[in-house]
Amino acid sequence: MKLKGLDYLNISEHFSDEEILVQHSVRDYVDSELQPIIEEHFKNGTFPAEKIKEMANLGLLGINLPNKYGCAGLSHTAYGLACQELERCDSGIRSFVSVQGSLVMYPIFAFGSDEQKENWLPRLASGDTIGCFGLTEPDYGSNPGGMITRAVKTKNGYTLNGSKMWITNGSVADVAIVWAKTEDEVIHGFIVETDRDGFDAPEMKNKWSLRASVTAELILENVEIPEENMLPGVSGLKGPLSCLTQARYGIGWGTIGAAMAMYETALKYANERIQFGKSISSFQMTQEKLVWILSEITKGQLLAMQAGRNKDRNVLRHQQISMLKRNNTWVARETARLAREILGANGISGEYPIMRHMMNIESVYTYEGTHDMHTLVLGDDITGIPAYR
């Protein structure tokens, strides 16, 4: 079986039939149901909430989590291919799925009690419940360990106080995974229902990126939660960072999808646009741009595929995910500029997806670990010197 779309090196042969069928099914769904509406949502700054149920029915929420919780139980490689196809449409759509699956369902699955898993995972998989992930704070982005959100022990549970910034799905979420320090300065994860007294999630407006995705601030003012809402299986910064590792893995695949969309648009445009009596694809400088993009996407596909294989064998190191996220997001960012140049003035038009992807990728370049932070993670890995401390 063959992957749909760009596969210059014939890497299809390295994927199982199931994985390729996932790519086909998600691509068909995205092309028919999401591509026709995404521009309008992006323009209006709205998330296509009307599609949540469809995406859940397709199995996109918690793709790589077990069947018994209502999830598809597919390989991590299949999850990656799905992220690629979703971000080929829009980074905001992929972000929604990443947050729900990797940042909300994953920590409950990995660190939650049996009761928490049985209570929350089926509802989150079905899309009946939407989740968000609260880690970043106004003054603590790349340095989340400095967070000031506090969980103070009470007789029956905890009282949470603090604020979180740049929270995807924040204002539409029914539940938030909030990371806070207890009195012993240790970070813990808490499941916080968003209808609790003292919880507020004002939407952050005026974004010029990820406009088809909801971003909010979380304000926690004396929010009381019961003891059983704490995630029992993890303490310390490794809890939230392990969730981000899951999400970054999906981003590493997703951004290649965005680059594919821009490459396909630029190649088609270059073949059809006539200047000086011939298509602009016949000019050497256009060909050089297209070949650069094609080569970098192909290398990015190989990187993603091997990361997927490592993850499926449970040997993928977080530093390798840093390489995946850092490289492939950079490829998408550079592709946006080259594709825009190939389309000339039309490159800035909403008739084509280039500027939308370009604006989105600026967020993706920074969120879930900035490009520079991943550089330093890799620098630390090869030299043993953590330059960010």
Single out the residue of 1, 274, 291, 387 in contact with other proteins (rule: CB under 8 A). Answer: 1
Nearer to other proteins, 82 or 177 (CB): 82
Token couple for 249: 């893995």
Nearer to other proteins, 20 or 256 (CB): 20
State the DSSP string of 299-348.
HHHHHHHHHHHHHHTT---HHHHHHHHHHHHHHHHHHHHHHHHHTGGGGG
Q: Tell me how far, at minimum, the Cβ of 270 lies from other proteins, in Å.
A: 15
By CB under 8 A, tell whether 21 contacts other proteins: yes
Q: Residue 368 catalytic?
A: yes
CA distances from 155 to 188, 226, 356 (A): 18, 9, 50
Nearer to other proteins, 60 or 305 (CB): 60
By CB under 8 A, tell whether 4 contacts other proteins: yes
Site for other proteins in 24-53 (CB under 8 A): 24-25, 28-29
Nearer to other proteins, 60 or 234 (CB): 60
Q: What kind and span of H or E run contains 251?
A: helix 238-272
CA–CA distance, 95 with 101 (Å, rounded to integer): 10
- Please name every residue paired with 225 in a beta bridge, in sequence order, or none if there are none: 158
Size of the site for other proteins (CB under 8 A): 23
By CB under 8 A, tell whether 78 contacts other proteins: yes
By CB under 8 A, tell whether 133 contacts other proteins: no
By CB under 8 A, tell whether 82 contacts other proteins: yes
Single out the residue of 34, 38, 74, 259 in contact with other proteins (rule: CB under 8 A). Answer: 74
By CB under 8 A, tell whether 22 contacts other proteins: yes
Task: Give the list of residues 6+ apart from residue 22 with CB closer than 8 angstroms, or none.
Answer: 63, 74, 78, 81, 82
Phi and psi dihedrals of 59, rounded to 5?
Answer: 100, 20
- Please name every residue paired with 181 in a beta bridge, in sequence order, or none if there are none: 150, 187
Site for other proteins in 149-168 (CB under 8 A): none
Q: Tell me how far, at minimum, the Cβ of 13 lies from other proteins, in Å.
A: 13
Instruction: Specify the pairing of strand 131-134 against strand 175-181.
Output: parallel
Chain residues that interact with other proteins, rule: CB under 8 A? 1-2, 4, 17-18, 20-22, 24-25, 28-29, 57-60, 63, 67, 72-74, 78, 82
Residues labelled as active-site residues: 368
